[in-house]
Amino acid sequence: MRPQRLKDGYIPYPRIEEVLQQGEPYPQVILPPFGGYWIEDPDAPAAIPSWENGFCDEENGEESISGQFGYRLESNYAIRAYRKHFLGREHLNFYCTASNHGNLVLSLRHEEVKEQEYLQIILRTPSRTIYDKISLAGLTELPSVPQLAKILCEDIVGLRFSPVLYPRGSQLIVNYDEHELNNTFKFGVIYQKFGQVRKSVLNSCCFISKHLYFQYIFSLCLVFRFRGGLDVSHGQTGSQSVYTVFRGQELMFHISTKLPYTEGDIQQVQRKRHIGNDIVAAVFQEEATPFVPDMIASNFLHAYILVQVENPGTDDTTYKVSVTAREDVPQFGPPLPIPPIFKKGPEFREFLLTKLINAELACYRSSRFAKLEERTRTELLDNLHNELHKRTQAILGHPLSADEERIENGGHGGILESIKVLSQKDQPSYSHAACQNGPFNVFVSVSAGDARAQSLYGGDGGVLCDQRSLDSGHLSQEVRSETLSNPSSPEILSNERLIF
């Protein structure tokens, strides 16, 4: 059936009902009528974009993050570079106030390897952290700090750097860098029967016996260190789940058939509350049947890994894999083989788990999550910059005045300052600018019940040492309670609530 051309000339993709009417062979996944998603093509693989400066694998000759079968976890090496190459070694730190990119923090280390001199540089901006290693061969003198910053980010202008003199500044910096580190992930697992075309049906199968092969793919455990939003005390989210540790990463799977099933509930809210708040889901198909990524209406689900089992229960069991994601999610590895079929065994397990983790990391770079992450990075970088400046001035014997400290803190004088303003309201010396100060300081709230939660500042006023206290710090605290891989309760949702 030829799709009807719309007035604007756009030809929508065929609906799933039309695809089913055409008969076999059926594709594993089809695009929604009006697009918005991409499908990975193993015959014409798109080049997986190289991670921007600092986003790379381990350096050549160093510890590899490849698995037994060569499938690599894609990670931001820049956020680990400071601890690996700078911390505990002679280096210099600088901060820059109010460039055209906002506040900046730069770290610089000189090293000599086999009679060749190098400079290792880390530049922290509100949008990203950049790491590079440049050779000094042929240079008669070292570049200045503003010149080095411009090498890493050409469009930065108006640079005036100051050295960090606070002896504990390195600890503050490494705490900031590692706020993005995360080693906990949660994924949805959906079972699709042949011919299912409605989202209300995807979660309605209550026969766990058909999913015994999950126990081979994922290690089953009933006692969890990372609970992935599940109730492990009262059984309100079921009695079983699937959990495993893979290359140091803790993975929890929200399996639709292991979550509570409510007779008569077409929407199956209990299941959607968990799977709909995941970012990546694996869809296991009973047999060849098409899946449409918009069958599940969720603000958070951005990528799907489709797995179709062939010859189940035999020695010739194989898995056919397909991948689809929202159009603003960048491509991620490992690439699908040709043909995209795996034999049952450890290689498929490694491929699937690596693909799931890389999918979630790629989703964080989509426009929706990137904006939230940049806002969080900006706030934390401003806090780091202000703390380094305040501590440096104190070391020099020039502590900030009350007015300067208020400016450093964004103009908020707190409750005491508000009382002073009110008490001076009728006096001639009252400044109109003072009444614009907010009555309260900005606080970051954390759950008192989470043993890992701490305040944003440590005992010496520095940025928090344990990055997990920022909920593994991928995105803004407003959505971290359940949108990302963290142990928060699923009942705590933000205004970005799941839409069904």
Give pLDDT tens digits for 55-95: 444 443 344 466 788 899 988 889 999 999 999 999 999 99
Nearest to 91 by CA among 159, 174, 147: 174
Q: What is the pTM of this model?
A: 0.69
Q: pLDDT at position 479, please?
A: 42
**Rounded to an integer, what distance in angstroms lies between the CA atom of residue 147 and that of residue 225?**
47
* pLDDT tens digits along 175-190: 999 988 888 898 888 8
Task: Say yes or no to pLDDT of 359 above 50.
Answer: yes
φ, ψ dihedrals at 364, nearest 5° = -65, -20
Q: Using CA atoms, how far apart are residues 480 and 487, in angstroms rounded to an integer?
A: 10
Q: Which residues pair with 325 in a beta bridge?
A: 38, 303
- Domains, the chain, in order of start with CATH, read 27-35+183-363 (3.40.50.11210), 51-162 (3.30.1120.160), 375-480 (no CATH)
Would you state the pLDDT for residue 311? 83
| Calculated CA dihedral for residues 467, 472, 474, 478, nearest 10 degrees | -100
Q: Kindly state the percentage of the chain with pLDDT values over 70.
A: 57
User: Can you list the pairs that 311-319 forms with residues at least 24 positions away whose Cβ atoms lie under 8 Å?
Assistant: 312/213, 317/213, 317/343, 317/344, 318/342, 318/343, 318/344, 319/344, 319/348
When pLDDT is cut at 50, 70 and 90, the band that residue 14 belongs to is: low
Find the farthest-apart pair of alpha carbons in the chain and give their distance in angstroms, rounded: 90
Out of 241-245, 406-410, 485-489, which region has the weakest mean confidence (pLDDT)?
Answer: 485-489
Beta bridge partners of 245: 250
Given a cut of 50, whether residue 3 has pLDDT beyond it is: no
What would the two tokens of residue 479 be? 């959505």
Could you tell me which residue, 299 or 49, shows the higher pLDDT? 299
Half-sphere exposure of 248 (CA within 13 A, CB side): 7
Q: What is the C-alpha separation between 206 and 256, in angstroms, rounded?
A: 8
More confident residue, 164 or 427: 164
- Greater pLDDT, 148 or 419: 148
What's the mean pLDDT in 317-323? 91
Task: Compute the average pLDDT of residues 265-286.
Answer: 69
pLDDT in tens, 383-401: 999 999 999 999 999 876 6
